[in-house]
Chains A and B, each alone.
Chain A
Amino acid sequence: MAPSRDRRPGFSRRAQYSLFLTYILGIAGAVVGGVLLALSTFNPVAFNAVRAAVAELTAPPAALLAGAGSQLASVPDAIASHFQVRSENRELRARLNQARGALLAGRQAQIENVRLRRLLTLRDRLPETIAAARIVSTSASSTRRFGLLNAGSFQGVADGQPVTGPEGLIGRVLYVGPDTARVLLITDPESIVPVRRTRDGRPALAAGRGDGLVDIRTIDTADGRFRPGDLFVTSGTGGIFVPGVPVARVLRAGTDSAPARPFARPDSLDVALVHRAFMPPPPAPPAPAPKPSPSPTPEP
């Protein structure tokens, strides 16, 4: 293709000036972009209202498509399960017989746990479900990992609430619009979740890596060996995440940090539950009442 000569304005002053003006506007656009970038780097919540407004518009078509897509994706599963159901039934009956003893012991432990907790008058907040909704899209072309939830402040969702899927923790709500909420997935490079090991209750942090895994990091100085297969659940420290939700399983051994695979696979997440924040921050103290101003003394 020959280079275009059409941008050469010739001798017309008007054409020359208007071409010059377009370049000025282009450079101004880049400068404004740089300023906005600096603002949103130092204050990431600055433009959340605008983003939420745009998400309100893009969510409904995505929700329709997500519903249709999951219907289509469930067809092969339905066919396969139809043919597997007999053998699976036999296997499940056998497993139920084996598990009956463990179930009895577990019930006893649960009852005892409730009694002991009552003795201690432990102040627990129940993990109250606020909304069940679909994750309709993720930030598929960015290095950040966000999800868009199809429920917002009209459904009672608020900033900071934890979001869980059927398999485990998905993330937490970053900001909400009227009918949508942006979710920071636990695999995002800036997400950190306090966790503990199920085996011995050892505390750790699950920090997102950005490549679909999380890093389990030690927070204490004790000898920390992570072994492959270690299970981590949320600890409830920090007051956001409800304790006891499965987070990740360690893949490779490590001393200070080890890569782990989250239980909630972002490939397959569609339905998500929003819970109330485990211990929401206390409300801000009320502003002090204005003191009565001294009335001017009447002139004698």
Chain B
Amino acid sequence: MTLPARPLFKEPLPPGRARLLPWASVLAGSLATTLPWNASLGLLPPLGLLMMLAWRLLAPLSLRVWAPALLGLFDDLVSGQPLGSAMLLWTLAFFLVEALEARSGVRDFAQSWAIAAVAIALAQAGGRLFASPLSAYVDGVLVIQIILSVLLFPAAARLVAWIDLKRAR
């Protein structure tokens, strides 16, 4: 795929804003849970986590290694999970992606998707263990939520690629 050429005299984004855009898009994904969904079940995919993984997998230098801790802290404050859960799990997901990436060579989108699926499933399962007692009947809902999240990852990747196109060149 060839990238469309940028207009000749158009300036790229200033570096401050270019660095801010990934953060802002992940925070916006976290804020999606505060909209009035009024659901009796927790089926909304963790959009902040999806955006963060998409940034990590498509534009590896856009977020620093310490970014997921702060982004996860904000996600915990709005999502209702115990504080620190996303902070820990998102950082671990980041390191997991890092480790899998170090062992994969040239990869296509399907492999990125598979890596994201593993990270999403582990992070969601960890969040369930931290938040709810083992006796709660939330596992079926959790599996559906993970499947929805994995299916939604290409959309998040599309959005991230679009923002990155505006941002990086």
Contacts and interface: CB of A to CB of B under 8 A. Distances in A.
Interface of A: 1-4, 6-7, 22-23, 25-30, 32-41, 44, 46-47, 50-51, 54-55, 58-59, 61-62, 65-66, 69, 135-146, 148, 187, 189-190, 208-213, 265-270
A141 to B, nearest CB: 4
Contact of B42 (A2, A27, A142, A148): A142
A54 B60 contact: no
B162 interface: no
- Most chain B Cβ neighbours within 10 Å, of A40, A148, A268: A40
A1 B83 contact: no
A170 to B, nearest CB: 11
Main secondary structure of the interface of A (DSSP, over half): mixed
Contacts of A146: 80
Given A37-B130, A41-B130, A30 B79 contact: no
27 contacts: A1-B109, A3-B107, A22-B66, A25-B64, A29-B69, A30-B87, A30-B91, A33-B87, A33-B89, A37-B87, A37-B130, A39-B84, A40-B84, A46-B83, A58-B31, A59-B34, A139-B33, A139-B80, A140-B37, A141-B32, A142-B79, A144-B132, A189-B138, A211-B138, A213-B137, A266-B40, A267-B38
Interface of B: 31-47, 58, 60-61, 64-66, 68-70, 72-73, 77-89, 91-92, 94-95, 101-102, 104-109, 112, 127-128, 130-133, 135-138, 140-142, 145
A6 B33 contact: no
A210 B31 contact: no
Given A3-B105, A29-B66, A41-B130, A148 B34 contact: yes
> Shortest 6 CB-CB distances between A and B: which pairs?
A29-B69, A36-B84, A33-B87, A139-B80, A37-B84, A33-B88
A166 to B, nearest CB: 14
A212 B108 CA distance: 40
A36 B73 CA distance: 10
Given A3-B106, A143-B132, A187-B40, A26 B95 contact: yes
Contact of B77 (A50, A65, A145, A209): A50
Contacts, number: 203
Nearest to A148: B34
Contacts of A46: 83
Contacts of A39: 83-84
Contact of B61 (A6, A139, A140, A189): A6
A125 B52 CA distance: 52
Given A50-B77, A143-B136, A189-B136, A211 B41 contact: yes
Contacts of B102: 3
Nearest to A34: B88
Given A37-B87, A50-B83, A142-B81, 14 more contacts: A1-B58, A22-B64, A29-B87, A30-B69, A36-B73, A40-B83, A58-B34, A137-B36, A139-B42, A141-B42, A143-B132, A143-B138, A210-B137, A211-B137
A15 to B, nearest CB: 13
A270 B78 contact: no
- Most chain A Cβ neighbours within 10 Å, of B79, B87, B142: B87
Given A25-B66, A30-B91, A4 B39 contact: no
Given A137-B33, A266-B40, A142 B80 contact: yes
A98 B127 CA distance: 55
A140 B37 CA distance: 7
A137 B38 contact: yes
Contacts of A140: 33, 35, 37, 39, 42-44
B84 A34 contact: yes
A194 B141 CA distance: 26
Given A44-B82, A144-B80, A209-B137, A66 B36 contact: yes
A193 to B, nearest CB: 16
A267 B91 CA distance: 33
Given A4-B60, A41-B82, A139-B79, A211 B141 contact: yes
